[in-house]
Amino acid sequence: MKNMKTRLIVGLDLPDRTTAEKLVTTLGDSVSFYKIGYQLAFVGGLELARDLLKEGKNVFLDMKLLDIDNTVASGVENIAHMGVTMLTLHAYPKAMRAAVEAAKDSGLCLLGVTVLTSMDDADLRETGYAEGAEALVLRRVAQARDAGMGGVVCSAQEAQKVRALVGSDMAIVTPGIRPAGSAAGDQKRVMTPADAIRAGSSHLVVARPITQAPDPRAVAEAIIAEMRSAIV
């Protein structure tokens, strides 16, 4: 946990590969881990992922896979061959079990997405869930643990209870991280970097507070310093 540089994941939620490459250049050696999701994946993001891996960076593919078991397994096998570090899928038990079998011996860390940090209890009720966010997160975390997943994605607000449930081995990756004074945007369950680390998060995903900053490198370095301060 002490090497916080490897625990900060910068979300490349940007409109095109050129913009993403400029940010990576600006951040330089201050950042070693990047997330590539839907927005960038379809405009050269997968090719960029391969280039980042060649440069020695870690890559988190945020694909949130969910499909029939065979399709999930086939997709996971191909992604594992890319050599990326982390991959997300929605935390449905059958999908997770298929993914774990497909990724066996590959070194790929599979993450089960529990409840999106842009959703709260009211959103879940509208969707048809009887459970609130925390209860649903904990149920899906237990299912991810039992399926043999490498970790989960949840809000840092649930990280302490999640850590108690999974122990020290599983990764707890938390989006919705906002340094003090940052706008929450469309995130509803947010936390500061230091508080998230204290709560038990292993990795923090930060996008807009860095990507939209006048000096992205300074912000990234400040976040890493705040993360380190939490474990003094």
| Residue 6 is assigned to a ligand binding site | no
Q: Is residue 99 within 8 Å of residue 121, measured between CB atoms?
A: no
| Residue 4 is assigned to a ligand binding site | no
| Residue 71 is assigned to a ligand binding site | yes
| Residue 187 is assigned to a ligand binding site | yes
Neighbours of 41 (CB within 10 A): 17
| Residue 117 is assigned to a ligand binding site | yes
Tell me phi and psi for residue 203, to 5 degrees: -135, 140
For 100, 155, 205, the CA distances from 210, given in Å and listed in that order, are 32, 19, 10
| Residue 70 is assigned to a ligand binding site | yes
Please report which helix (H) or strand (E) contains residue 59, including its range.
Answer: strand 58-65
| Residue 125 is assigned to a ligand binding site | no
For 99, 100, 109, 131, the CA distances from 87, given in Å and listed in that order, are 10, 11, 6, 26
| Residue 197 is assigned to a ligand binding site | no
One-letter identity of residue 225: A
59/89 Cα distance (integer angstroms) = 15
Catalytic machinery residues: 62, 64, 67
| Residue 51 is assigned to a ligand binding site | no
Q: Is residue 133 within 8 Å of residue 111, measured between CB atoms?
A: no
- Give residues with Cβ within 8 angstroms of 100, minimum separation 6: 110, 147, 148, 149
| Residue 217 is assigned to a ligand binding site | no
| Residue 58 is assigned to a ligand binding site | no
Q: Which residues are annotated as a binding site?
A: 13, 35, 62-71, 117, 178, 187, 207-208
Tell me the binding residues for substrate.
Answer: 13, 35, 62-71, 117, 178, 187, 207-208
